[in-house]
A and B are shown apart, each in its own frame.
Chain A
Amino acid sequence: MTEEKTHHPEPSYLVDTGKYKGLMAWLTSTDHKRIGLMYMYAMMIFFSVGVILGVVMRIELFFPGEQIYGPQMYNGLFTLHGIIMIFTVVIPGLAAVFGNFSMPIMIGAKDVAFPRLNLFSFYLYVLGAAIALSSQFMGNGPPDTGWTFYAPYSIQTHTNVVAAVFGAFVLGFSSILTGLNFIVTMHRMRAPGMTFFKMPLFPWSLYATAWIQVLATPIVGITLLMIIAERWLRIGFFDPALGGDPVLYQHLFWIYSHPAVYIMILPAMGVITEIIPTFAQRRVYGYKAIAISSLAIASVGYFVWAHHMYTSGMSTTARWVFSLLTFLVAVPSAIKVFNWVTTMYKGSISMRPPFLFALGFIFLFMIGGMTGLSLGALATNVHVHDTAYVVAHFHYIVFGGVGFAFFAAIYYWYPKMYGRMYNFKMANWSFVFLFSGFNLLYFPQFIIGIMGMPRRYFDYLPQFTLGQQLSFFGAVLLVIGFVIMLITLFSKKGEKAPDNPWGGRTFEWGVPSPPPVENFEVMPELAENEGPYDYK
């Protein structure tokens, strides 16, 4: 009497099935995939704004001396550029977008553990970003402290620091709740048979990230509240004029803000670890080493913060301890790079756009990492502290690393997100422009940094002119590349994507493109002898 089961495809998550239609259906959706996409749209907008601010800075720096605006505006610009790029783009970054979109599917779950909390995190993110941006238009002018809000200047300046700081606080809260959600999701909702050591490595990196989000963010939260209290009540925690200790502020700030770098980069590493085995059609080399190195980076990375402060006044003992730990944290990062490259060995590599961007990531991340070591060494740091060398270093990590991994991830999961392919040729061109533009923009900064160009100056000595101008042209190429990428992805509908365009083995490639609302028609399982990356 069994009835023949006819196949009724479930509607995709892009189709509105609830009581609302259109925009409202998105804004009220607790579907992790929709929330991921909403984060992505928001971040693209913020990123574009940040890019424009960066270009406006580069225009001013084209010639030495004042060109189109003065130092106060320049200070406001780099502050806003930093706040937007750090707090609204790279910190939530890959975790908020692809952690939401891909991670639950990759571990075989229908959604995250707390879907409503997830939507709440998104709204906190929007609210925090709005508060931070409102600092530009209210009070006594845009903040000019830099995104680090260093005391005592952040206490003494008359600009609207409180709004920016409070915005960062709210954004931090959003980040904490996302991390909490992901930890519980990965503990409780993995598919049957998927032990922790069978979990794909992007979720692994998110797991390590989530713990930093949960354990480091509150420290900066309380520090930012103390800044606000000090500005309102003249307490004197940090401002020496009131008897406070500015170095204490720096410690408290970096206790969060250095681990925050790992909040940014760990998911990026996770994405690269997904892309390389897929496009090399090889089982990932050293699965456990990569998984454990994520945890190692997270835990050692928690204790390296004072390498930002070698010149601020610390005991010699403290300095060499932090320098040693900084060198130690490079080891698990290098393990990952080694494993990525080794995974490609004897693979059947197909040079698709996501893979190109992954290669670009490895190249840029290596430069960023190596220069990070020279900054972590006590003797060299004293010479290049607060120069353009530092600017170049962290852009290589944060943009060359996180940014390129972000682009790679978009190209990788785009077919799954929209059920459409894109034009590979155009995508490759976007890579050529982004990659060459990036290097032309930031590599000269290493050189003029070593020559003595300080960071955060709107003016400079004539000998830095060539370097600054090369950077400008790099910025132009970079913007062109970004525009090409946006056109490639969003200008017209590509052909229909198959469920598994790249031959990936993780669960998200086993479901339709785009996935149905509850992700799976049949809940997936991993058998005893199966792993997440069973290629040849």
Chain B
Amino acid sequence: MEHRDDIGAKLGMWVFIFTEILLFGGLFLVYAIMRNNYSKEFHEAAHHLNAFIGTINTVVLLLSSATVAMSITAVQKGNNKLAVILLFATLVCAAVFMVNKYFEWGHKIHIGLYPGSDLMMTLSHGQVMFFSLYYFMTGLHMFHLVVGGIILTIVMIKVNSGAINTGKYVLLENGGLYWHLVDLIWIFLFPLLYLIT
């Protein structure tokens, strides 16, 4: 006999999300302290980030959160086909985000701006801190994005096969919750790194 408890499963996901928020919380704390200590250097270093790409990625992620949310409604209404399309759109958004990030990081690494590089050694400590935190935070975020992408891919296959359906869709909901978390963290990273200059 299978034990099934959708509310329990969602509660578990929420608790896990608390954990994730505190994981990033440690980094946000370090960011706050460093920003306080080196506000001038942070100000200068932030100019090197491309706010345009950052904005595009923000829009892309917001869009992907919307499509995930819509896919849940679609499954609730019994339209698995539409849900698969919406989930696929989410994954496309994730891919666009990653491609943008690839060019963004690639450009910086190309001009020698990465932790441990020769150029980095010539910068002031505050600037080194900014770029280190930039790589650390966006890198960890990207890792979560990839994990979220894998989860949603599995979910999409299950929606397609009908294993997730109107009567049983807690896995989709949990995948969606996780995806919103990835989105939410970016919503904080974006202004802290790109906009506050």
Which A residues are closer than 8 A to B by beta carbons? Answer: 110-111, 113-114, 117, 176, 179-181, 183-184, 187-189, 214-219, 221-223, 225-226, 229, 232-237, 242-243, 245, 248, 252, 255
Complex CA–CA separation, A255 to B15 (angstroms): 19
Complex CA–CA separation, A110 to B7 (angstroms): 18
Asked whether, in the complex, the Cβ of A226 is within 8 Å of the Cβ of B23, the reply is no
Q: How far is the CB of B106 from chain A (nearest CB, A)?
A: 18
Contact of A219 among B15, B18, B25 (CB under 8 A): B25
Asked whether, in the complex, the Cβ of B8 is within 8 Å of the Cβ of A235, the reply is no
Asked whether, in the complex, the Cβ of A223 is within 8 Å of the Cβ of B26, the reply is yes
Does chain A have a CB within 8 A of B125? yes
Complex CA–CA separation, A233 to B113 (angstroms): 13
Asked whether, in the complex, the Cβ of A180 is within 8 Å of the Cβ of B20, the reply is no
Complex CA–CA separation, A415 to B140 (angstroms): 47
| In the complex with contacts A215-B22, A233-B115, A233-B116, A222-B16 CB distance below 8 A | no
Instruction: Collect the chain A residues with CB atoms within 8 Å of residue B140's CB.
Output: 225
A117, A187, A216, A242 pick with most chain B CB within 10 angstroms: A187
Q: How far is the CB of A455 from chain B (nearest CB, A)?
A: 28
Asked whether, in the complex, the Cβ of A218 is within 8 Å of the Cβ of B20, the reply is yes
Complex CA–CA separation, A275 to B22 (angstroms): 35
Asked whether, in the complex, the Cβ of B29 is within 8 Å of the Cβ of A184, the reply is no
| In the complex with contacts A188-B7, A215-B19, A218-B22, A237-B132 CB distance below 8 A | yes
A interface SS class: helix
Q: How far is the CB of B178 from chain A (nearest CB, A)?
A: 14
Q: How far is the CB of B118 from chain A (nearest CB, A)?
A: 12
Does chain A have a CB within 8 A of B155? no
Question: 20 new A-B pairs (CB below 8 Å) besides A180-B16, A187-B8, A234-B115?
Answer: A110-B3, A113-B5, A117-B12, A183-B12, A184-B8, A184-B15, A187-B11, A188-B5, A215-B19, A218-B26, A219-B25, A223-B26, A225-B140, A229-B136, A233-B115, A235-B116, A235-B136, A236-B129, A245-B37, A252-B30
Closest 9 CB pairs of A and B: A243-B125, A222-B26, A218-B23, A233-B115, A188-B8, A218-B22, A233-B116, A235-B132, A184-B12
Contact of B19 among A113, A214, A226 (CB under 8 A): A214
Instruction: Collect the chain A residues with CB atoms within 8 Å of residue B26's CB.
Output: 218-219, 221-223, 252, 255
Instruction: Identify 24 residue pairs between A and B in the complex whose beta-carbon atoms are under 8 Å apart, listed by A's number.
Output: A110-B3, A114-B12, A176-B19, A180-B19, A183-B11, A183-B15, A187-B8, A187-B11, A188-B5, A188-B7, A188-B8, A188-B11, A215-B22, A218-B22, A218-B25, A222-B26, A233-B115, A233-B116, A235-B128, A236-B129, A237-B30, A243-B125, A248-B33, A255-B26
Q: How far is the CB of A500 from chain B (nearest CB, A)?
A: 27
Asked whether, in the complex, the Cβ of B12 is within 8 Å of the Cβ of A181, the reply is yes
Interface string of B10-46 (1 = CB under 8 A from A): 0110011011101111110110010001000000000
Contact of B132 among A187, A215, A236, A252 (CB under 8 A): A236
Q: How far is the CB of B12 from chain A (nearest CB, A)?
A: 5
Instruction: Collect the chain A residues with CB atoms within 8 Å of residue B11's CB.
Output: 183-184, 187-188
Instruction: Collect the chain B residues with CB atoms within 8 Å of residue A233's CB.
Output: 115-116, 132
Instruction: Collect the chain A residues with CB atoms within 8 Å of residue B7's CB.
Output: 188
Asked whether, in the complex, the Cβ of B129 is within 8 Å of the Cβ of A113, the reply is no
Instruction: Collect the chain A residues with CB atoms within 8 Å of residue B5's CB.
Output: 113, 188-189
| In the complex with contacts A223-B26, A233-B115, A235-B132, A215-B18 CB distance below 8 A | yes
Asked whether, in the complex, the Cβ of A234 is within 8 Å of the Cβ of B22, the reply is no
Complex CA–CA separation, A219 to B20 (angstroms): 10
Complex CA–CA separation, A515 to B19 (angstroms): 34
Complex CA–CA separation, A216 to B26 (angstroms): 10
Q: How far is the CB of B157 from chain A (nearest CB, A)?
A: 19
Asked whether, in the complex, the Cβ of B16 is within 8 Å of the Cβ of A113, the reply is no
Asked whether, in the complex, the Cβ of A180 is within 8 Å of the Cβ of B15, the reply is yes
Complex CA–CA separation, A187 to B19 (angstroms): 18
A214, A218, A223, A237 pick with most chain B CB within 10 angstroms: A218
Instruction: Collect the chain B residues with CB atoms within 8 Å of residue A114's CB.
Output: 12
Complex CA–CA separation, A218 to B47 (angstroms): 31
Complex CA–CA separation, A103 to B27 (angstroms): 35
Instruction: Collect the chain B residues with CB atoms within 8 Å of residue A236's CB.
Output: 125, 128-129, 132
Asked whether, in the complex, the Cβ of B30 is within 8 Å of the Cβ of A226, the reply is yes
Q: How far is the CB of A168 from chain B (nearest CB, A)?
A: 15
Complex CA–CA separation, A338 to B65 (angstroms): 52
Complex CA–CA separation, A188 to B23 (angstroms): 26
Instruction: Collect the chain A residues with CB atoms within 8 Å of residue B25's CB.
Output: 218-219
Instruction: Collect the chain A residues with CB atoms within 8 Å of residue B128's CB.
Output: 235-236, 243
Nearest A-chain residue to B10, judged by Cβ: A184
Instruction: Collect the chain B residues with CB atoms within 8 Å of residue A183's CB.
Output: 11-12, 15
Nearest A-chain residue to B7, judged by Cβ: A188
Complex CA–CA separation, A336 to B24 (angstroms): 35
A111, A221, A225, A233 pick with most chain B CB within 10 angstroms: A233
Complex CA–CA separation, A248 to B29 (angstroms): 10
Asked whether, in the complex, the Cβ of B3 is within 8 Å of the Cβ of A214, the reply is no
Nearest A-chain residue to B125, judged by Cβ: A243
B5, B8, B11, B26 pick with most chain A CB within 10 angstroms: B26
Interface string of B114-139 (1 = CB under 8 A from A): 01100000000100110010001000
